[in-house]
Chain A
Amino acid sequence: MKIAFELNGIKQEIDYLPDRRVVDLLREELGYTGTKEACGSGECGACTILVDGVSKLSCLMLAAQLQGRSITTIEGMSPGKKLHPIQQAFVDKGAVQCGFCSPGMLMATVDLLQRNPAPDRQQIRAALSGNLCRCTGYQKIIDAVESAAAEMRDKL
């Protein structure tokens, strides 16, 4: 099936199996391995991407569903050389350990800060509650999101 969509701002038209998962399309077909898979059933958030700006799970989406959509993966978060302020905050605040949850966490954070530019810690915890992390205990991730939000507000 021919599927036309936008990936990180670039138009794609590919011939792919419509019933394969989006995470497979990204990783196996297109080589975008920044999007991780860690459960395959919507329980961990590692495969989170943005579909038309909204965080969704690429392990529970079929390739055909991308038709006409615009998606962003972690590779598209900072198109230039400079890191996105959220990414920078993750590095600065020590939010990354093994890093396997990080792409999904970052996608979830983009979604959160679009909805709520000034979340408190509890709201951040709620917004990231679909993304499991086994290394950090979440605290420094929350610190990073809090700091990125402040930084991004200052720039407005």
Chain B
Amino acid sequence: MTTYASPIGSSLKRVDGPGKISGLEKYAADYYPDNFLWAGAKRSDHPHALIKEIDISPVRNLPGIFAVLTHEDIKGANRVGVPEMDQPVLADRKVRYKGDPVVLVLAENKTVLQEAIDKIVIKYEPLPAVFDPEAALAENAPLLHENRNDKNLLLGGRVVRGNSIAAMSECDAVAEADFQLPWQEHAYLETEAGVARVDEEGILAIIASTQTPWRDRNELAYALGWPLDKIRVIAPYLGGGFGGKDGITVQGLLGLAALHSGGRPVKMWNSREESFLSSTKRHPGRVHYELGCKKDGTLYAMNCRIVLDTGAYASLGGPVLALAMEHAAGVYRIPHALIEGFSVYTNNPVGGAFRGFGAPQVLAGLEQMMDILADKIAWDPLAFRLKNAVMRGDETGAGVWMSNSTAIIPCLEKLQEHPLWTSRQAWVSQAPPFKLRGVGIAAGLQGTGYGPMVADIANAKIELLPDGRFRIYSGVADMGQGNNPTNVQIAAEVLGQTADCFELIQPDTLQTLPSGSSAASRTTYSYGNALKAAALQLKERILTRACNMGMGLYAEDFLLSSGRLNHLPSGREIPLGLVAASMRPEERVSIYSYTAPVNRYPDKINPDIRAAGFPHRVFAFACHLARVQIDELTGEVEISDYLAATDAGKVLNPQLYEQQVQGGAVQGMGYALWEDFKLDRGELMTRNLATYILPTSMDVPDILSIAVESVEESGPFGMKGIGEIVINLALPAIANGIARAVGQHIFKSPLTAEQLLLILEKRAAE
């Protein structure tokens, strides 16, 4: 009998490692089917214009061109999106941003594809365009979508608690500031890609780099007018996603191409430039805060106004706003609060899902407000946060009930006792010549799952194979975070197996079961719960069958181990293959459907905001610390040390947990300091990785991670989602550190070296 250590809680190696590091794992971009055609889009070079004429005659007979398609070739509704289906696969009457696809070309090779795209002539009648969300809310602003009652307002609403206007005047100290947040590009390394084909039976099969195979299928059926049961979407491992593949990217165009390719496979793979042009981004926004407290350090009133630029199409601009509002009071009890939110259409690129989903924008503002206000009443910023932080059972200032595990206070206490915090004054005073130092902290939270009005369901499926091994049918795409390798760990724990006893099927609408998106910090939480139950059910079946077969009297006398069943009283070993052989195929498959709990309270929230996902029930918490050093001669910021204390429940795998903490923090550092996505009247200025600056290995420090393990009783083995909380706090922690070094807060991010040096110079001149 093999000795056997419990996989849960151990750093079990990811089973996807060997395939990926040997170059053998096939991503969507790696498929080159026999006899395939390249597909590519001609995109709008106007931010807002009526399409007057599409002239494809110059390319119709170009050698190597297989087909040239416009909206007229689309049989369905030609609209994708969720929850609002407002984005055309190919623009029909008008274009709404520079980058809107208008014509789709199918060609034998990339060279002739590009030639055709260049030669197609589209005549436009330019329309007045609007690039600023505040301007888009004005009475006579140009309308993006003409027939909407709310005009350019995609979603708006308010959350009111107490009377914040009156309460503000009762505060002993009040701080007010207006924060400007930039777009953030996901910049996953694998740009949008896929292949598609319609087979002899009329099945449209798409292999795509997508976080949402199930939703894609629904949208494609509607948009392209192809029967749902004749669409199959497969999601291999993604080369990164971060929310940018939460929904249709190339799938609509690919599906359309495949319906017009005479049965030949088609392939799309966006260049980096096209990816920047056409993909969704983190919503830029303006967040205005007024925050007041009593002189004993108690937060008392908050006013917050959030305006998000959702760009030309809805995408997830509604839910992102709802989450921004839900997280706007952070981890604090505030009795009087008013939170107003607006998600607004403009002729800019589309804002969509991005790790954090609205929380990074508001926490960037709120957590700087906490420092400003603490300074006003001469409180230590950490003590000020501790004083006001929620405990389980409390409500946040946004009226969100902390019904489940809530360990923000232990996170803050971990920071408080850490040398990076306790020795901060000495460290700051030892700054070398021409350097300024500061230490900043920030605290925050992140909701898990889809909120109260969209059922968060995962359907797990696991099979005992005839040879005694197991196959897990992963229902949720793995964009790199390792949720599917973690499925092995969960099943291994329940079934007493080692990792090599499993094979994994990646999401495939034909083979696996609908289990929602790879998003919202819910992949392992929801699917893990379903899989754990499915595996348990299968285990019971195996043990019962062994008793049926006369191998023992009681199920509890058996122990499952790698590939076998041990009958403890007799010491007999029974190969699992033998048990499998006595089971019918349907018995060897176990399915379990799990629905995540929701927060039904409070129902007094504005119904539109509630429908968009406000509020959540399960939250992860964190507190980050950044030590920053600024070069007075250049304004360059160096992050010298970085610490993250995180409550994401019990840690299933310390290595994967750290992967999230480190990667998320660095993506947040990019958001804080370098990633300055620039547009000029709808035109991309930072159009590739040469001008949109991602941090390299030289730019970031090692990150210290402290896991504060609360037990989340609703999560599998006590875990909560770790995927998003990790990105939310880098910007405010770094900004607070910079403010302490420079002596003033900077409200426009990213906090570039340029901005800093100009501020330092101005301060020196004063």
Contacts and interface: CB of A to CB of B under 8 A. Distances in A.
A73 interface: yes
Nearest to B240: A98
Contacts of A136: 659, 662-663, 666
Contacts of B587: none
A102 B658 contact: no
Given A31-B32, A101-B189, A134-B694, A139 B662 contact: yes
Given A92-B13, A100-B189, A138 B697 contact: yes
Nearest to A35: B23
B454 interface: no
Nearest to A77: B22
Interface residues of B, number: 55
B659 A91 contact: no
A91 B21 CA distance: 8
B19 to A, nearest CB: 8
A83 B703 contact: no
Contact of B23 (A33, A98, A128, A140): A33
A153 to B, nearest CB: 21
Contacts of B702: 121, 139, 142
A46 interface: yes
Interface string A101-135: 11100100000000000000100111011111111
Contacts of A132: 189, 689, 694, 696
A27 interface: yes
A94 interface: yes
B16 interface: yes
Interface string B204-245: 000000000000000000000000000000000111111000
A129 B698 contact: yes
B656 A94 contact: yes
A41 interface: yes
A134 B667 contact: yes
Contact of A91 (B14, B241, B665, B694): B14
Contact of B480 (A90, A99, A142): A99
B462 to A, nearest CB: 24
A128 B664 CA distance: 19
A75 interface: yes
Contacts, number: 170
Interface string A37-77: 11111011010000000000000000000000000011101
A18 interface: no
Given A139-B662, A142-B697, A97 B18 contact: no
A141 interface: yes
A31 B696 CA distance: 30
B20 interface: yes
Contacts of A28: 32
B293 interface: no
Contact of A78 (B22, B271, B482, B698): B22
Given A34-B22, A36-B190, A98 B479 contact: yes
Most buried by A among B32, B238, B240, B703: B240
Contacts of A91: 13-14, 17-18, 21
A149 interface: no
A47 B189 CA distance: 11
Contacts of B238: 98
A106 B187 CA distance: 21
A96 B697 contact: no
A136 to B, nearest CB: 5
Given A74-B22, A97-B480, A33 B666 contact: no
B150 interface: no
B396 interface: no
B662 A38 contact: no
B688 interface: yes
Interface in A10-44: 27-28, 31-41, 43-44
Contact of B189 (A32, A98, A130): A98
Nearest to A89: B21
B23 A103 contact: yes
B471 interface: no
Given A36-B190, A96-B17, A141-B697, A44 B663 contact: no
Interface in A140-154: 140-142
A146 to B, nearest CB: 11
B480 A135 contact: yes
A83 B22 CA distance: 8
Given A33-B30, A38-B272, A90 B17 contact: yes
A137 B188 contact: no
A125 B697 contact: yes
A103 B703 CA distance: 24
B697 A129 contact: yes
A97 B482 contact: yes
Nearest to A38: B189
B611 to A, nearest CB: 32
B23 to A, nearest CB: 2
B20 A140 contact: no
A49 B77 CA distance: 45
A11 to B, nearest CB: 20
Nearest to B655: A94
Contacts of A34: 22-24
B689 A75 contact: no
Contact of A126 (B29, B191, B271, B698): B698
A99 B20 contact: yes
Contacts of B759: none
B663 A97 contact: yes
Interface in B236-267: 237-242
A98 B237 contact: yes
Nearest to B23: A34
Contacts of B11: 94
Interface in B482-514: 482
A56 to B, nearest CB: 17
B214 to A, nearest CB: 21
Contacts of B481: 97, 135
B14 A96 contact: yes
A121 B11 CA distance: 23
Contacts of A142: 697, 702
B690 interface: yes
A128 B698 CA distance: 8
A129 B699 CA distance: 9
B188 A134 contact: yes
A100 B189 CA distance: 6
Contact of A100 (B13, B240, B242, B658): B240
B696 A99 contact: no
Contacts of B242: 134
Interface of A: 27-28, 31-41, 43-44, 46, 73-75, 77-78, 83, 87, 90-92, 94, 96-103, 106, 121, 124-126, 128-142
For the complex of A and B, 3 pairs with smallest distance between CB atoms: A34-B23, A98-B480, A99-B20
Interface of B: 11, 13-14, 16-18, 20-27, 29-30, 32, 186-191, 237-242, 271-272, 479-482, 655-656, 658-659, 662-667, 688-690, 694, 696-698, 700, 702-703
23 contacts: A33-B26, A33-B29, A34-B22, A43-B688, A78-B22, A91-B14, A96-B20, A96-B21, A98-B239, A99-B237, A99-B239, A100-B239, A100-B480, A126-B697, A126-B698, A128-B697, A132-B696, A134-B188, A134-B240, A136-B659, A139-B658, A139-B703, A140-B658
Given A38-B190, A98-B190, A100-B189, 19 more contacts: A33-B26, A33-B29, A33-B30, A38-B689, A43-B690, A75-B24, A77-B22, A94-B655, A98-B238, A98-B241, A99-B239, A100-B239, A102-B21, A134-B663, A134-B667, A139-B702, A140-B655, A140-B658, A142-B697
